[in-house]
Amino acid sequence: MEQGKVIKNNNSFYYVQDATGLVTCKLRGRFKKDRCNVVTGDEVVFSRLEDQSGVIETLLPRRNLLRRPSVANIDQVIVTFAAAEPDPHPLLVNRFLVLAEWSEIPEIVLCLNKVDLVDSAGRQAALAAYGEIGYRVIVTSTKNGEGIDALREQLKNRVSVFAGPSGAGKSSLLNALDPALDLRTGEISSKIKRGRHTTRLAQLLPLAGGGFIVDTPGFSSFELEKIEPLRLAGYFPEFRPFLTGCRYRGCTHSHEPDCLVKQAVAEGRIQAVRYDAYLNILQEIAERKREYT
């Protein structure tokens, strides 16, 4: 038996990296019977066949799981969004942050890309909005090289997933970090100002400086209905100090009186745009749950 990491999977084949190289594997039949899903990033135990292909025998415990798209055992997520073209959408960025918090990824970093397209005021507004929450923000530009070295250092010797809306420039950014990756990129549509989806599957890519990065398929919305409504507020870090003193047990922090979260918003200790995102996601979760019941 040998152990390795799933680098990618496609058409029922799993490409596993071990000490000797890349091994093409299939799943043992019981995985299908038990409906056990193996995803990119999983650590697995496999047996080697005579033709040097492999059969995955055991799925080792996961540290975490990014649910959409499915990637396991991530050290950090780089939530990437554009400073312009397309303009950043606060609700969409906040949805990505909630997904990352929900997935229990140890570190969350925001990357504000295409900063060459905005003036200093626009840049500072974006930095302040998320820096105040406590997230690290790295500003980058593939046009002039700004921030590329800082981002490269952030990725060193870690398994990092890049996530963000289509058109944020993730593939171009990864190519700037390591030209050997040679990822496909797409132009921004002149009509809808959104990027074409050029990444087709989630896979771990070795980075020249050490570690792996994941370029994930572009997407514009998440299905968050699996989140328990009463747990949602905990995925907003700045809400956490105010979650235990509300008047009503089980407060949803939306309509109840004597709510400390609402009071913090009124006093400016929680950003209104973040609270609005919370309410929007809370409503979506409720609507989705009604659809499935």
Q: Give the burial string for 183-208 (b: 16+ CB within 10 Å, else e).
A: bebbebeeeeebbeebbeebbbbebe
The reported pLDDT for the residue numbered 155 is: 94
Distances (CA, A) of 19 to 3, 198, 202, 283: 9, 31, 22, 48
Residue 7 tokens read as 């680098």
Q: Which residues contact 228 (CB under 8 A, 6 or more apart)?
A: none
Residue 117 one-letter amino acid: L
Structure confidence at residue 233 (pLDDT): 96
Please state the length of the chain.
Answer: 293
Strands 76-82 and 107-113 turn out to be parallel
CATH class for the domain made up of 2-61? mainly beta
Per-residue confidence in pLDDT tens, the chain, 293 aa = 899 999 988 888 899 998 888 999 999 887 766 667 888 899 999 999 989 898 999 999 999 887 766 788 999 989 888 888 777 788 888 988 998 888 888 999 999 989 888 877 767 777 777 888 889 999 999 899 999 999 999 999 999 988 877 777 887 888 888 888 766 554 433 332 334 444 456 788 888 888 898 755 543 345 677 788 999 999 999 999 999 989 999 999 999 999 999 999 999 999 999 999 999 999 988 887 676 55
Give the pLDDT score at 265: 97
Helices vs. strands in the chain: H and E counts, helices first = 8, 13
Is residue 79 within 8 Å of residue 164, measured between CB atoms? yes
CA–CA separation, 235 vs 240, rounded Å? 8
Q: Which single residue is written with the structure tokens 């609270």?
A: 275
Alpha carbon dihedral 41, 42, 48, 51, in 10-degree steps, equals: -40
CATH node for 229-291: 1.10.40.50
The reported pLDDT for the residue numbered 130 is: 83
Alpha helix stretches (DSSP H) within 178-234 = 229-232
**What are the extents of the domains in the chain?**
2-61, 66-215, 229-291
Q: Which two tokens stand for residue 250?
A: 């089980």
* Architecture (CATH level 2) of domain 66-215: 3-Layer(aba) Sandwich (3.40)
By the 8 A CB rule, do 98 and 224 touch?
yes
pLDDT value for 196: 41
Strand partners for 43 = 5
- Tell me the backbone φ, ψ of residue 256, rounded to 5 degrees: -75, 145
Helix (H, G, I), strand (E, B) or coil at 260: helix
